[in-house]
Structure 1
Amino acid sequence: MRRAASEIATGTLFGIALNYQGLLESRLQEFNEPPYQKPPQKPVLFIKTPNTRSTDGQAVSAPAGERLQPGPALGVVIGKTASRVDEKNAFAHVAGYVVVNEFSLPEDSYYRPAVKAKCRDGFCAFGNDVIPTGEIADVHALVIKLLVNGEVRQENTTANFVRSIPRLISELSEFMTLHEGDVLITGTPEGRVDVLPGDEVVVEISGLGRLTNHIVAE
């Protein structure tokens, strides 16, 4: 049964950076130089704080003098406590999936995502419904699109994840407990675009639906 995201996706919001193969590959040369020295060996995490929560249809403010970038993403809603979960059992801990738009200012560092860039008011919009796992035949074959004023500006597929959802749950739950209602924001594809006040921003994920936000001046 579908449930409202506002009722079930109520926990901590964990963002996963660099989880699309194209994005990671585009930064490999940079990661082999100081200060990084080598590409990340574990998931690169950041937190979206409670003030970032937004909903379908809600306006998102573009900070004056800053570049605002939407981030189409698949959200994985945890359905029961997950601690030291094996990959083969990981889906048993998933309640369902939700469309997410993870807004951000441009990022200077993927290893230390800035609070200023990630955690402004309204910078994490959620679709209305959490789609149960049973309604999605293959969560690693979903098409994700970002449309700005009706034009497709980004398109990718969850087949291009660096880490699958079971692997993410296994690796994260190895060192921290995931609780019912927590959300894993599984990454934004390469090619983020800038948006401006007056723009309509839509995220579409096949089988999950659409999420629409309008950009306004701060």
Structure 2
Amino acid sequence: MNLLKRGTVYGTLLNFRGELDALGPKVNEAPYKAPPQAPVLYVKPANTWTENGGAIAIPAHVQELEVGATVAMVLRSAREIGGYVLMNDVRIPHESLFRPPVKYNCLDGFLGIGDRVRARNEAGDPAVFKLEVRVNGELKQTVRFSQLVRSAEKLLADVSEFMSFGEGDMLMLGCDTDRPRVRAGDRVEIKMPALGTLTNTFVAEAA
């Protein structure tokens, strides 16, 4: 398998226990009126992709963005994980409980993608993955994947019940709460020994 082949990139919501706990009773309010029974997904289209070391523009109408440090499964086939890669799932801060709105999640450059794909048998068990997120060199967040609602294998199995994947598609494991916020000029590093470091610099949108 060519682990550098890139297909569709999918994000996952509410797959960290902290996310669900933070919602509290809101999960029982309209429009859904209950906690999700299946994985909640969204697409990060090709216009959002930014390579490791690249700059991400902050739109002129917002002051800051949220960093979403995560790991994505890189699919070898419809139901087989080929490897893992670091991602920075950027979004405009919002509190919407509706389906993820494109205007917050899918602006140009809003997904940093690592350049090191580690094969599944070399990366280890995702349940023990731990990411460190630094902003301008200062540790701002530690993401522990022991806190997932669905493990990588379980997430893939549950999603595969209602959709199919192709080689090179990527499925993020989700983002934890308390995402660091960044402004123009900030440099973000997301690091995990097995997967390397994903670095992106945030800049003001060109006039």
Question: Do these two structures clear the TM 0.5 threshold for a shared fold by scoring above it?
Answer: yes
Per the alignment, residue 74 of structure 2 pairs with 77
Per the alignment, residue 33 of structure 1 pairs with 29
* Native 8 Å contact 2:13 2:39 kept in 1: yes
* Native 8 Å contact 1:53 1:125 kept in 2: yes
Per the alignment, residue 43 of structure 2 pairs with 47
Aligned residue type for 2:197? R
1:170 correspondence with 2:157: yes
* Native 8 Å contact 2:69 2:143 kept in 1: no
Greater shift, 118-127 or 100-109, is seen at 100-109
Counterparts of residues 52-201 of structure 1 (less than 5 Å): 52-66=48-62, 67-82=64-79, 93-201=80-188
Partners of 1:19 and 1:145 in 2: CA distance: 19
* Native 8 Å contact 2:70 2:174 kept in 1: yes
5+ residue gaps, structure 1, are: 83-92
Residues matched between the structures, number: 204
* Native 8 Å contact 1:78 1:178 kept in 2: yes
- Give the SS at the match of 2:182: coil
Partners of 1:158 and 1:205 in 2: CA distance: 12
Q: CA deviation at 1:146?
A: 1.4
Aligned residue type for 1:72? A
- Give the SS at the match of 1:79: strand
* CA RMSD, 1 decimal: 1.5
Q: TM-score, normalised by structure 1?
A: 0.89
5+ residue gaps, structure 2, are: none
Q: CA deviation at 1:34?
A: 3.0
Partners of 2:99 and 2:78 in 1: CA distance: 27
Q: CA deviation at 1:153?
A: 1.1
**Structure 1 residue runs of 4+, over 3 Å off?**
none
Q: CA deviation at 1:15?
A: 0.4
Partners of 1:217 and 1:128 in 2: CA distance: 24
